[in-house]
Structure 1
Amino acid sequence: MPRFAANLSMMYTEHDFLDRFAAASADGFEAVEYLFPYDHDPAELRRRLDDHGLKQVLFNAPPGAWESGERGIAALPGREAELRSAIDRALEYAEALDCPRVHVMAGLVRPDTTPAERAEHRDTYLANLAWAAERAGAAGVDLLIEPINGRDMPGYFLNRQAEAHAVVREVGASHLKVQLDLYHCQIVEGDLTTTLRRDLPTGRVGHLQIAGVPDRHEPDRGELAIRHLFTVVDELGFDGWIGCEYRPRAGTSEGLGWLNDYRGESA
């Protein structure tokens, strides 16, 4: 049966961030993820996890100047020293929170990027990920890369599943994997059942995420046959976590009917 993690950056926003751990636990979640932990002392986050019996399963490495619009730096030439510092900081938090996965964002590229410039971005990306994966591997942490759709994040360097898997194969590091967000994948390329059946058995997918398409609300809202997809994931024996990275239409707890129904059916 798939295991679900509450994304505390998008869910439970009716509560202050540190109070979202308790709210998620009260709704039966056993794990959490979120974008960034760096505004909080790791000891305080660790206490919230322990107090509520939660596992931390994912967060992002520092992404550059997020408030100024940056969305990662791993594929940006000239930012290598900053990327290395960001990875070291992320791994410090991962150790403190016993978190086995860190997502490394690639960054944005200009729409008029030439083929030669894009090749330079890709070379930078591969080199940075190779260094970072070796560093993470020594700490027992998996690094993840995630294709993101260009509607939500115009200019993001990595958009398609095949591109992500090609990067992972080329880097050749066992601790570098793909974060498959079914929301992004449906918007960019669709064919989710085939994608799951093709990619999950490779062992290169380290984490799944879900949200309804097209509005990123509850996963049973919109065009995804979410129960069918859960069945496919289950049949394929995926033993990782599925992050619930969606924006509830109203209150978070009130919108969990899809999850409560699924739990009841699978009991």
Structure 2
Amino acid sequence: MPRFAANLSMLYPELPFLERFEAAAKDGFEGVEYLFPYEHPPQELATRLKGNGLQQVLFNAPPGDFSAGERGLACLPGREEQFRTGLAQALEYAQVLQCPRVHVMAGLIPTGRSKSDLRATYVENLRWAAKQAQPHAVQLLIEPINTRDIPGFFLNRQDEAHGLLDEIGEPNVKVQMDLYHCQIVEGDLATKIRRYLPTGRVDHFQIAGVPQRHEPDTGELDYGFLFRVIDEVAAASRWNGWVGCEYRPARGAAPGGTSEGLGWLRRWRAGA
């Protein structure tokens, strides 16, 4: 059975962020992820993890000015110094939180530029970052994201991501395969899981219902089938990673709404 991690940036929105760790543990999660940890001291987060028996499995490197719409710096010429400063901060947090994965957001294509214009900057930034992360045993993840949710995002497709890994050429740079984004852009998810997971280059999955990004038992995807595919391929390829639950609860911030919406997870754990 896949190991599921609660995304605390999206789940339990009725609770203050630091109280979401306990809520996730009470619902049976053993791992957590979230977008950014930087509003809180790393030791405070480590205390919450330890106190609730949780493992930190993923967070994002600083993305630039997120509130102003920036979604990463890796592809942006002229922002290399800020990218490097942010990566150093992410690695400091990863050490304290004992987190083995950091997602490096690619960024938005500036007006008047093309992907080909930005590719060299992206590749060089990731090569540099991989060398910094390697002594800390941290995997850096790149994630294709659909352009409906984030118009203009630099990286959108699985084949693009794997082609970039060839060019980057660093063993600790891998793909974060978000099945929600992949379905919107490409579809054919089972085939892509079977194609890419055995390569050893997919280090993390994320899930959400399509199209509304609610619980995975809503919308057009049969996640029960996809979980069985992941189990089948993982057993053959010895993958033992995590599946991040990065969705917005359909009940919103109603008290207990996230927990009430976890019927899909309870059924899966029960072998349904």
TM range, normalised to the smaller chain? over 0.9
Please give the secondary structure, in 1, of the residue aligned with 2:148.
coil
- Corresponding residue for residue 263 of structure 1: 269
8 A Cα contact 1:61 1:103, kept in partner: yes
Within 5 Å, which residues of 2 pair with 1:56-205? 56-110=56-110, 112-114=112-114, 118-205=115-202
Please give the secondary structure, in 1, of the residue aligned with 2:57.
strand
Using structure 1 for the length normalisation, give the TM-score: 0.97
* 1: CA distance, partners of 2:132 / 2:23: 34
- Corresponding residue for residue 243 of structure 1: 244
* 2: CA distance, partners of 1:69 / 1:26: 34
Deviation at 1:138, TM superposition (A): 1.4
Please give the secondary structure, in 1, of the residue aligned with 2:271.
helix
Deviation at 1:143, TM superposition (A): 0.1
8 A Cα contact 1:46 1:97, kept in partner: yes
Using structure 2 for the length normalisation, give the TM-score: 0.95
**Structure 2 unaligned blocks of 5 or more:** 252-256
Backbone CA RMSD of aligned residues: 0.9
Instruction: Tell me whether 1:221 sits opposite 2:252 in the alignment.
Output: no
Deviation at 1:123, TM superposition (A): 0.4
Instruction: Tell me whether 1:233 sits opposite 2:217 in the alignment.
Output: no
Please give the secondary structure, in 2, of the residue aligned with 1:164.
helix
- Corresponding residue for residue 11 of structure 1: 11
* 2: CA distance, partners of 1:51 / 1:138: 28
Deviation at 1:112, TM superposition (A): 4.2
Task: Show CA shifts across 1:119-160 (max 9, x none).
Answer: 231100000000001111111000000000000000000000
* 1: CA distance, partners of 2:140 / 2:197: 17
Instruction: Tell me whether 1:24 sits opposite 2:42 in the alignment.
Output: no
**Structure 1 unaligned blocks of 5 or more:** none
* 1: CA distance, partners of 2:209 / 2:194: 20
Instruction: Tell me whether 1:48 sits opposite 2:76 in the alignment.
Output: no
* 2: CA distance, partners of 1:229 / 1:137: 32
Deviation at 1:57, TM superposition (A): 0.2
Deviation at 1:111, TM superposition (A): 5.5
